[in-house]
Amino acid sequence: MATLTRVTFISASSPSGSIGHSRNKCRQVASSIPFLNSLPEFSSHAFRARYSPSSLTSLPRTRYRRSCVSKTEAVKVLSMAKSTVLVTGAGGRTGQIVYKKLKERSEQYAARGLVRTEESKQKIGGADDLFIGDIRDSNSIIPAIQGIDALLILTSAVPKMKPDFDPAKGGRPEFYFEEGAYPEQVDWIGQKNQIDAAKAAGVKQIVLVGSMGGTNLNHPLNSLGNGNILVWKRKAEQYLADSGIPYTIIRAGGLQDKEGGIRELLVGKDDELLQTETRTIARADVAEVCIQALQFEEAKFKAFDLASKPEGTGTPTKDFKALFSQITTRF
């Protein structure tokens, strides 16, 4: 839901001599709200056209009293501009970055996060906008989803290394998933629960972060803990694409804990990028693409692979509308 901003209501007692004064007061109110200044509704040209003396004097007195920048009108614009966004998996390594970025852009977004435990909540600040819930239990996530405009899904099953592995003895480590936390339960049922709850709540857009490699059943990630993690992720992606909700599916390459915003990003399809040398991406860049996807129509109803050029090569990506415009695949 939008955050409301108190704006002084200005009315005119006379539709004649005080018009210029009232119009200037209107502008003062608009300029006192920094975010309004960036909106088309309050651009200088549009404002002059709408609130010029000639337009005001032609109005009946009762209408003129409401022709200035009223509290109701300003709130309406702010409501259109500011979105409530929920990040699920906010306690994860990439989810934390997305949640933090949203919090830093409080003029645009009212951020929420969903974590699984109180420990995770406290780890990332313990704010009131952090909800505790288990995506495998559909009822537990409803409070977090109610009233949001967009959902960013960053939940994922996480394989763990068996403790008896000894690197000194050679060989490869073995992995397992905890009971109840297999990819089928987390990446399929858990994500399906989120999509269903979001649809029931009237959410306007879902951004889902998956992984490259889903076109290959024999991909090594599927063998970890016998979890077939990419198979279940792909199934959830298809479910989202079929849901009717505007969606953006980001299939990220190998995730790196590096600084974001300094590399040229690459988009692809059907795991083509896995056949190149550009198969990795910084978590911070994935987080930024998630948020940018909320701002452009060009990102909706699209699915794509995401990687980046090595640092120091290419031109760092800044034009995300152009990046999304390159994508032609719906799944």
For the chain, give every domain's residue range: 83-168+181-326
> Per-residue DSSP letters for 110-150?
EEEEEESSHHHHHHTT--TTEEE--TTSGGGGHHHHTT-SE
Q: What percent of the chain has pLDDT over 70?
A: 76
pLDDT digits (tens, 9 = 90+) for 64-82: 344 344 544 544 444 456 8
Answer yes or no: is pLDDT of 312 > 50: yes
Give the pLDDT score at 165. 78
> 83-168+181-326 adopts what CATH topology?
Rossmann fold (3.40.50)
Just list the catalytic residues.
211
pLDDT digits (tens, 9 = 90+) for 105-125: 999 999 999 999 999 999 999
Inter-residue contact 94 to 85 (CB < 8 Å): no
N-terminal to C-terminal alpha carbon distance within the chain: 30
**pLDDT band, residue 171 (cuts 50/70/90):** confident
DSSP tally for the chain: helices H, then strands E:
14, 12
Show the tokens assigned to 324: 């999304």
Give the pLDDT score at 80. 53
Torsion angles phi and psi, residue 187, rounded to 5: -85, -20
Average pLDDT over residues 260-272: 97
- Residue carrying structure tokens 């109005």: 59
CA distance 131 to 115: 6
**pLDDT band, residue 186 (cuts 50/70/90):** very high
- Residue carrying structure tokens 């001599």: 17
pLDDT, the chain, mean = 83
Lowest mean pLDDT among 18-32, 38-52, 284-298: 38-52
CA distance 247 to 13: 50
Average pLDDT over residues 282-294: 98
Model pTM score? 0.75
Inter-residue contact 110 to 85 (CB < 8 Å): yes
Give the residue ranges of DSSP H helices in the chain: 19-31, 44-50, 53-57, 61-64, 71-81, 93-104, 118-123, 142-145, 183, 191-200, 220-223, 229-241, 283-292, 320-325
Give the pLDDT score at 210. 97
Rounded (to 5) percent helix, strand, coil in the chain: 40, 15, 40
Kindly report the number of other CB atoms within 10 A of residue 55's CB atom. Answer: 15
CA torsion sign for 232, 238, 241, 242 is negative
Give the pLDDT score at 70. 52
Question: Diameter of the chain by CA atoms?
Answer: 91
**pLDDT band, residue 173 (cuts 50/70/90):** confident
Average pLDDT over residues 151-178: 89
